Structure 1
Amino acid sequence: MAAGVSDWQLRHREVVRSSRDTYLPRAGVDELRQRIDAVLLGAPPGAVLSHLTAAALWRFEVPLVGDDRRVHLSVPPGSRVRSRADRVVHASPVPGPETRRLHGLLVTSASRTWMDLAAVVPPAALLAVTDQMLARRFPADEFPAVVARARGRRGVATARAVMSLGDPLAGSPMESVLRWILLEAGLPCPVLQHVIRARGRFLGQVDMAWPDRRVLVEFDGEVHRERRVFVDDVRRQNGLVLAGWTVLRFTSADVLGRPQHVLATIRAALGLA
């Protein structure tokens, strides 16, 4: 009102109401930083960006959680601030050593973010984040210490189940999800990014393989729909088949929609059916 903005202007089609008392330009709704800035206007002292928002700021891809555009905040217990349409409030103390400054914002550290995620995402999604952290050289032996510090908190059981299964060679978050499905079902752990050669000739580097069974699995993401990639895939597959390998290819529709079929197919290929 002080700036001369009227109620009529706030009802303009180019303005979006993100919560009871907050409005954003429609062009800014898709920008995480603008949503964060809007939420922080009403955040209490000591609020820290956490959970899925911290993961996004750390550039961790978290599968299986959908398009959650709400900003996640951790606030001191006893704070009167509550969740609303544009924010999720977690009443949890965040000690100073568990915070960092990213892009000028106070955010939970990578290790604290991982532990927070353990309480709100499926184990397969947490494994995907674990793989990404290891790929960025996060020390593998730090995970047990993070879990020990979190004793008694939600998510500890999930974190403990996942922490020893991480692999920095995972090619994508959905490959991590597929690997979790395999390990949870008791299948042998595959070798990731296995290089296959025949008579000294390079045939390919594959997503997952069981070299002793000459079975490999490829996860086909969106990029594999591009014509050039598709053609290369077909040519490489022919070479692998001729070299005596069983080639199995799955998409997100298989992994998410028919996981039991995926498991049965891999079991049969491994001779475990």
Structure 2
Amino acid sequence: MAIPLQKEDIRVHLTVATGSALRSRADRSIHRSPLAASEVVERSGFRLTTPQRTWRDLAATLVPAALLAVTDQLLARWCSASDVRAQLDLRPSGRGSARAREVLPIADPRAESPMESVLRWLLHEAGVPAPELQYVIRTAEGTFRADLAWPRAKLLVEFDGAIHRDGDVFVRDLRRQNALVAAGWTVLRFSGADVLGRPLDVVAAILRALGG
């Protein structure tokens, strides 16, 4: 079973005020919605919805795993959790409201990549205990930081993106993993192909390592 994040859509999506004469066409999709003055900002001469309003709009179209990835990055760079909660309170019903409420409590600005967020959503759906993010481990060989960790089980899970195939990074990763294993940790490493292409196997491997 593969996890469908979202159908590819190369159109520009524009949110305009109710009553606007703009129409959708091949290269753009127009969404009409009431816009409060507080939900609009100007950047480089363009009027845009605020990050939190954009998040609320995306909740209506993105699947939960993709929405969590967006939410994690949003909280890390653009606004606070209280800003996002206030936006949801402003528009508590309608399309995407239930999805937004389900995703928001899991969001964490410490997530360092969208794929880490997708993996966390898979684990949440499977009922796996929530991991600690960017967990620091000190060993005789140095101090290391892991993407996801379950300290009581001494389990670490890492997501390996394309950069980890670079020669120097690959060698450094091997040395790092050896140091962690020598210190008593179990280290599981997954790629995007694993998380998206065989999510059930990924969850099952983590559950086994946790003793579940």
- Could you tell me the TM-score, scaled by structure 2's length? 0.92
Residue 223 (structure 1) aligned to one of 156, 163, 172: 163
Give distance in 1, aligned partners of 2:6 and 2:110. Answer: 23
Residue 253 (structure 1) aligned to one of 177, 193, 208: 193
Contact 1:203/1:239 (<8 A) preserved: no
Give distance in 1, aligned partners of 2:166 and 2:59. Answer: 35
Residue 173 (structure 1) aligned to one of 114, 126, 138: 114
Shift of 1:130: 1.6
Shift of 1:152: 2.5
Give distance in 1, aligned partners of 2:131 and 2:190. Answer: 15
Give distance in 2, aligned partners of 1:170 and 1:126. Answer: 13
Give distance in 2, aligned partners of 1:91 and 1:136. Answer: 27
Residue 125 (structure 2) aligned to one of 178, 184, 203: 184
Residue 142, structure 1, aligned to residue 101, structure 2: no
Give distance in 2, aligned partners of 1:162 and 1:77. Answer: 28
Give distance in 1, aligned partners of 2:183 and 2:117. Answer: 27
Contact 1:74/1:93 (<8 A) preserved: no
Q: Deviations over 1:57-83 (max 9, x none)?
A: xxxxxx944653311112233445332
SS at match of 2:105: coil
Which sits farther off after the overlay, 146-155 or 67-76?
Answer: 67-76
Contact 1:128/1:176 (<8 A) preserved: yes
Give distance in 1, aligned partners of 2:45 and 2:168. Answer: 41
Unaligned runs of 5+ in 1: 1-62
Matched residue, 1:162: 103
Which sits farther off after the overlay, 132-141 or 121-130?
Answer: 132-141
Distance verdict in 2 for CA 1:78–1:136, change over 3 Å: closer
Contact 2:155/2:187 (<8 A) preserved: yes
Letter in 1 for 2:40: T
Q: Larger RCO: Structure 1 or Structure 2 (Cα < 8 Å, ≥ 6 residues apart)?
A: 2
The 5 A counterparts of 1:12-31 are none
Shift of 1:134: 2.0
The 5 A counterparts of 1:81-120 are 81-120=22-61
The count of corresponding residues between Structure 1 and Structure 2 is 209
Give distance in 2, aligned partners of 1:137 and 1:115. Answer: 14
Matched residue, 1:204: 144
Give distance in 1, aligned partners of 2:46 and 2:8. Answer: 22
Structure possessing the higher radius of gyration over alpha carbons = 1
SS at match of 1:141: helix
How much identity, in percent, do the aligned residues show?
56
Give distance in 1, aligned partners of 2:69 and 2:44. Answer: 24
User: Moved runs in structure 1, 4+ residues, more than 2 A?
Assistant: 63-69, 75-82, 136-139, 141-144
Letter in 1 for 2:43: L
Residue 75, structure 1, aligned to residue 16, structure 2: yes
Give distance in 1, aligned partners of 2:22 and 2:83. Answer: 33
Q: Deviations over 1:82-117 (max 9, x none)?
A: 321100011212222101111221110011001001
Give distance in 2, aligned partners of 1:79 and 1:146. Answer: 23
- Could you tell me the TM-score, scaled by structure 1's length? 0.72
SS at match of 2:189: strand
The 5 A counterparts of 1:12-51 are none
